[in-house]
Chains A and B, each alone.
Chain A
């Protein structure tokens, strides 16, 4: 039986197990949207801006481990996906984006709402397709999902001319893909694993740095086994947070620019770094020349191009983190590193600044995060925007639940939090999702409150309202002589905005009300917004100044510079 291109796409999505799509219609995807109503199994969620669709699909993918799917029309619809695609690309998120395109005969003529979206997205997608023959469509979808979800995951875009959506072809969904140029390596090289085992046996001061790869490959058990058997302290990157339980005595927290002092000190003094599913981002390493100067490096990553890219590696192991760890774990036996662990614990006592909250009459953002943690007992998924609030949420909530900290790491996209929290809630309908928002960040995609209301999504939103673009203001304070150029931020009355969207909300201005407000939000069915008016000039500490080594830690505000 012949089907239209639009039907072939829908059928193919069903074959891939897709049940939810985030999107926004328009002229060049009309045939697809027309067809969608024949497929009630494909729940389409209408967002308010295409950036909302792509971030929602992104977070949906992060929490479920499935491929997130979004639709947009051609031209402005497609270009509105750019930030979200770049975000998904930087954080290795499996995603398939389908965009409408002008009919084939119009391509290249600057037709109304034409944009060369495959050309534009080459550097920010893992792969992309412009479908020029309806007979290729099913195969293209199969390939797109395969590429998006295997190896190092990433976004794949399919550009679909309008006439292809209408043309008919036989529907054959291929059982397998055949991509001779794409063969991800899953298992580690046995020789390299042997070498790693040897180094692990010799190390006196080893550390594990767990990155996003641990979470992507869901290697929680395997990481725990490795760390506990060999008694190695575990540090995480920002995206590695919630890959290893922070209540574990071997957990020493986040590394990098806002990493905890003991974690950064441990790296600097270590003799072996076991980097697992991380890519040595400059925000994690600080100045490369002073990163782990005394250490040998074992690097496990599925992407061979990551190995040796930023840091010289002694033992490269290319493969899926979980598979490699299973193999590695077979070869190891119990070891102790008591002296080393004592040293780390001493540092922890010596430098408590990262997690201590100072006394204050006013509401400190850290305090709000801590109270949310207390109220949820850690049993929630936290989604953040980008800025100080993101770092406070990283440092002051304790992540024991696997994969429970969702943030934009690689691209650092303000405006990620609201659509992502919504997308996460779609993926985890029965779980508590807390959206930790900045007053600046949330305003970039605040229209997604409309989506949240329309879907009655029970997202709990905490705005940490400091009246500034806080993180930038912090840099201006520390490194630009307090010159607050364009960082004071006028905010609308968030309560009235919430009211306009039909979402219950509450201002919280007194410290003693914080706990009760959080409780109220959690007891209220459906979405809830809390606007916490926090200390305006609170800073994130510890901090490693940009360009410095990660052991050059600022624990306190600098005195007035020059």
Chain B
């Protein structure tokens, strides 16, 4: 039973408590959520959640079925096996002096990240990408001194025609 990271996407009704229900279910079934990201979807009143969780295929299949039972969940899919695009956004505030600033900017450039704020002793870097990219960027910036960092957790979508949305769009 190989344990690995799974990306689960769920389309859910925008109701109070949906996130709580989802989180509660993972907790109750003994699953660790690596990250959970929620935001609006293409349909009004529906949100899309991306959950990253670790477990064997059969464990994740069980949790997917349990999630499907939540009344406010309209659709849920484990997209790990599919060809997917996944992204995370990070904001990293790095210590920067006059001497180190240009070196930092070079690194930021290589990663196609952006500097979005500058102060006398720091810069704020905005970066998107998969987790590995953000982690390597972080590792390179670390020697300068990280003052603060925040990451969104993964959002993901299957490439091409595969669509994780409500089948019966019409109400």
Give the interface of A toward B (CB within 8 A): 118-119, 122-123, 126-127, 130, 147, 178-182, 303-305, 308-309
Contacts and interface: CB of A to CB of B under 8 A. Distances in A.
A123 B72 contact: no
B168 A180 contact: yes
Contacts of A178: 171
Interface stretch (B59-67, B97-105, B119-127, B129-137): B59-67
Contacts of B168: 180
Nearest to A151: B69
Contact of A180 (B25, B68, B166): B166
B90 interface: no
Given A178-B171, A181-B72, A181-B73, A305 B16 contact: no
B4 interface: no
B74 interface: yes
The 8 closest A-B pairs by CB, nearest first: A305-B65, A181-B74, A127-B71, A122-B24, A182-B71, A123-B28, A180-B74, A181-B73
B69 A305 contact: yes
Contacts of A122: 17, 20-21, 24
B113 interface: no
Interface string B36-63: 0000000000000000000000100110
Contact of B71 (A130, A179, A308): A179
Contacts of A123: 24-25, 28
B108 interface: no
A126 B16 CA distance: 16
Nearest to B67: A305
B140 interface: no
Contacts of A127: 71
Interface string B152-171: 00000000000000101001
A180 B171 contact: yes
26 contacts: A118-B17, A119-B17, A119-B20, A122-B17, A122-B21, A123-B28, A127-B71, A130-B16, A147-B71, A178-B171, A180-B74, A180-B166, A180-B168, A180-B171, A181-B12, A181-B71, A181-B74, A182-B71, A303-B69, A304-B68, A305-B62, A305-B65, A305-B66, A308-B58, A308-B61, A308-B62
A310 to B, nearest CB: 10
B20 A181 contact: no
B13 interface: yes
B107 interface: no
A127 to B, nearest CB: 5
B70 interface: yes
Nearest to A156: B71
The number of chain B residues touching the other chain, given as a range, is: 20 to 34
Contacts of B17: 118-119, 122, 130
Interface string B75-99: 1000000000000000000000000
A119 B66 CA distance: 18
B149 to A, nearest CB: 31
Residue among B13, B20, B69, B74 facing the most chain A CB atoms (10 A cut-off): B69
Contacts of B25: 123
Contacts of A304: 65, 68
Contacts of B68: 304-305
Given A122-B21, A181-B13, A305-B66, 15 more contacts: A119-B20, A122-B20, A123-B24, A178-B171, A179-B71, A180-B13, A180-B171, A181-B12, A181-B70, A181-B73, A181-B74, A181-B75, A308-B58, A308-B61, A309-B62
Contacts of A126: 71
Nearest to A154: B69
A180 B78 CA distance: 19
Residue among A130, A179, A180, A304 facing the most chain B CB atoms (10 A cut-off): A180
Contacts of B20: 119, 122
A304 B21 CA distance: 19
Nearest to A127: B71
Nearest to B169: A180
A185 B146 CA distance: 53
A303 B65 CA distance: 9
B26 to A, nearest CB: 11
B143 to A, nearest CB: 45
A196 B17 CA distance: 41
A304 B70 CA distance: 13
A300 to B, nearest CB: 16
Nearest to B15: A129
A138 B75 CA distance: 26
A182 B168 CA distance: 12
Nearest to A306: B65
Contacts of B75: 181
Contacts of A182: 71
A161 to B, nearest CB: 14
A122 B74 CA distance: 18
A180 B16 CA distance: 17
Nearest to B28: A123
A115 to B, nearest CB: 15
A308 B66 CA distance: 12
Nearest to A309: B62
A307 to B, nearest CB: 8
A305 B68 CA distance: 9
A122 B66 CA distance: 13
Nearest to B21: A122
Nearest to B167: A180
B132 to A, nearest CB: 33
A147 B62 CA distance: 21
Nearest to B74: A181
Interface in B1-35: 12-13, 16-17, 20-21, 24-25, 28
A366 B20 CA distance: 48
B157 to A, nearest CB: 20
Nearest to A304: B65
B60 to A, nearest CB: 12
Contacts of B58: 308
A122 B72 CA distance: 12
A220 B38 CA distance: 46
A181 B166 CA distance: 9
B146 to A, nearest CB: 36
A527 to B, nearest CB: 40
Residue among A178, A179, A181 facing the most chain B CB atoms (10 A cut-off): A181
B65 to A, nearest CB: 4
A521 B66 CA distance: 47
Contacts of A119: 17, 20
